[in-house]
Chain A
Amino acid sequence: MTIMTYPVFFLSFFLLYGKGWRHVDKTGPEGNIDAFLQYGQDAVLVIGNGRLLRSWDINVGGLNWEVVLDSGSFQSACLVGQQNTVKQVAVLKKAAISLHYLSNGHQKWIENLPDSETVDYQTVYSGGNGEVYVLGVVPHSHITVVAYSVEDGEIIKQYLVEAPWLSNLQVSCTVVSQGVLTCIDSATVSLYTLDLHAQSQMTQMPLQTLGLELAPGFHPTLVSSQPNPSHPPLSEFLLQLGPDHYLLLQLMHLNFLYCQAMLVTFVTTGDKTVAAVMSPKNRTVKFNEQLVNLFSVETGRRLLDTTLIFNIDPNGGKPEKLFVQAFLKKDDSVGYRVMVQTEDHTLTFLQQPGRVIWTREEALSDVVTMEMVDLPLTGTQAELEGEFGKKADGLMSMVLKRLSSQFVLLQAWISHLWKLFYDARKPRSQVKNEVTIENLSRDEFNLQKMMVMVTASGKLFGIDSNTGSILWRHNLDNIPANAAFKLMVQRTTAHFPHPPQCTLLIKDKDTGLATLHVFNPIFGKKSHITPPALTQPILQSLILPLMDQDYAKVLLLVDDQYKVSAFPSTKNVLQQLQEMASSIFFFLIDSSQGRLSGYRLRTDLSTELIWEVIVPPEVQRIVSVKGKRPNEHVHSQGRVMGDRSVLYKYLNPNLLAVVTESTDTHQERSFIAILLIDGVTGRIFHEAVQRKARGPVHVVHSENWVVYEYWSTKSRRNEFSVIELYEGMELYNSTVFSSLDRPHAPQVLQQSYIFPSSISTMEATLTEKGITSRHLLIGLSSGGILSLPKMFLDPRRPEIVSEQIREENLIPYAPELLIRTEWFINYNQTVSRVRGIYTAPSGLESTCLVVAYGLDIYQTRVYPSKQFDVLKDDYDYMLISSVLFALFFATMISKRLAEVKLLNRAWR
Chain B
Amino acid sequence: MDAPIFQLKFLVVFIVSFIVFVNFVYCNNGGRHGDSLDTELSGFSVPLEHSFEVDDVAKFSVRGALVLKGGREPTVSLSQNQLSEEDRIKLKEVAAVDGLYRIRVPRVFLQGDRQTEQQMEGYLTSFVRACAMVESHLSDAITLTTDVSGYLIGISIVTLPGACRGTEVEDEVDLEVFNTTLRVMAPVNAPGPETALFLERMEQELEKKAKNPQEQKSFFAKYWYLILGGAIFLMVTNSAQPPAGGGREQS
Residue numbers of A with Cβ under 8 A of B are: 582, 602, 608-616, 619-620, 662, 671, 673-674, 677, 681-684, 686-691, 712, 715, 719, 721, 733, 740-743, 748, 750-754, 799-800, 813-816, 822, 825, 863, 866-867, 872-874
Contacts and interface: CB of A to CB of B under 8 A. Distances in A.
Given A743-B160, A873-B248, A721 B147 contact: no
B144 to A, nearest CB: 10
Contacts of A691: 189
29 contacts: A608-B56, A610-B102, A613-B145, A613-B153, A613-B154, A614-B153, A614-B154, A615-B151, A616-B149, A619-B151, A677-B154, A681-B156, A682-B154, A682-B156, A684-B145, A687-B145, A688-B188, A688-B189, A689-B148, A689-B189, A721-B191, A740-B128, A741-B132, A741-B163, A743-B160, A752-B193, A754-B193, A815-B194, A867-B250
Contact residues on B (Cβ < 8 Å of other chain), bracket: 35 or more
B59 to A, nearest CB: 13
B12 interface: no
B247 A872 contact: yes
A612 B192 CA distance: 31
A751 B190 CA distance: 8
Contacts of A619: 147-149, 151
Q: Which 3 A-B pairs have the closest CB atoms?
A: A683-B156, A743-B162, A613-B154
A753 B193 contact: yes
Contacts, number: 147
A819 to B, nearest CB: 15
A799 B187 contact: no
B107 interface: yes
Contacts of A753: 193
A541 B148 CA distance: 32
Given A610-B127, A673-B148, 5 more contacts: A610-B102, A619-B148, A684-B156, A752-B192, A863-B250
Contacts of A742: 158, 162
Contacts of A671: 148
A807 B124 CA distance: 47
Contacts of B160: 743
Contacts of B194: 752, 799, 813, 815
B141 interface: yes
B98 A582 contact: yes
B244 to A, nearest CB: 9
B158 A719 contact: no
Contacts of A673: 147-148, 187
B248 A751 contact: no
A735 to B, nearest CB: 12
Contact of A741 (B7, B100, B149, B162): B162
A741 B147 CA distance: 26
A458 B188 CA distance: 44
Most buried by A among B107, B153, B159, B248: B153
Contacts of A751: 191
A721 B194 CA distance: 12
Interface string B182-213: 00011111111111011001000000000000
Contacts of B223: none
A611 B127 CA distance: 7
A657 to B, nearest CB: 13
Binding site secondary structure of chain B: mixed
Contacts of B148: 619-620, 662, 671, 673, 689
B230 to A, nearest CB: 26
A689 B126 contact: no
B201 A799 contact: yes
A608 B147 CA distance: 26
Nearest to A876: B244
Contacts of A825: 251
Contacts of B34: none
Given A612-B123, A614-B153, A687 B147 contact: yes
Interface of B: 7, 56, 58, 98, 100, 102, 107, 122-129, 132, 141, 143, 145, 147-149, 151, 153-154, 156, 158-164, 185-195, 197-198, 201, 245, 247-248, 250-251
Contact of B191 (A684, A752, A866): A752
A449 B102 CA distance: 48
A825 B251 CA distance: 9
Nearest to A799: B197
B187 A863 contact: no
A815 B161 CA distance: 41
A800 to B, nearest CB: 8
A673 B156 CA distance: 19
A689 to B, nearest CB: 4
A897 B126 CA distance: 82
Contacts of B98: 582
Nearest to B4: A800
Given A741-B132, A743-B141, A616 B151 contact: yes
B190 A815 contact: no
B141 A689 contact: no
Contacts of A813: 194, 198
B122 A614 contact: yes
Contacts of B185: 684, 687
Contacts of B124: 612-614
Given A619-B148, A867-B250, A743 B122 contact: no
A815 B193 contact: yes
Contacts of B192: 690, 712, 715, 719, 752
A585 to B, nearest CB: 11
Nearest to B194: A815
B158 A683 contact: yes
A815 B154 CA distance: 34
B127 A684 contact: no
Nearest to A720: B193
B154 A690 contact: no
A609 B100 CA distance: 11
Contacts of A688: 187-190
Contacts of B186: 687
Given A687-B185, A752-B191, A866-B251, A611 B126 contact: yes
Contacts of A610: 100, 102, 125, 127
Nearest to A864: B251
Given A612-B124, A815-B195, A687 B187 contact: yes
Contacts of B156: 681-684
A685 B154 CA distance: 11
Contacts of A712: 192
Contacts of B190: 674, 688-690, 721, 750, 752
Contact of B158 (A602, A743, A814): A743
B147 A615 contact: yes
A683 B251 contact: no
A683 B127 CA distance: 9
Contacts of A690: 190, 192
A755 to B, nearest CB: 9
Contacts of B128: 681, 740
B95 to A, nearest CB: 14
A767 to B, nearest CB: 16
Contacts of A613: 124, 145, 153-154
Contact of A684 (B56, B141, B143, B163): B143
A740 B129 contact: yes
A613 B105 CA distance: 11
B32 to A, nearest CB: 29
A620 B148 CA distance: 9
Nearest to B10: A799
Contacts of A686: 188
Nearest to B201: A799
A872 B149 CA distance: 58
B125 A612 contact: yes
Contact of B251 (A614, A815, A863): A863
B122 to A, nearest CB: 6
A362 to B, nearest CB: 33
A850 to B, nearest CB: 13
A637 B158 CA distance: 24
Nearest to B198: A815
Contacts of B154: 613-614, 677, 682-684
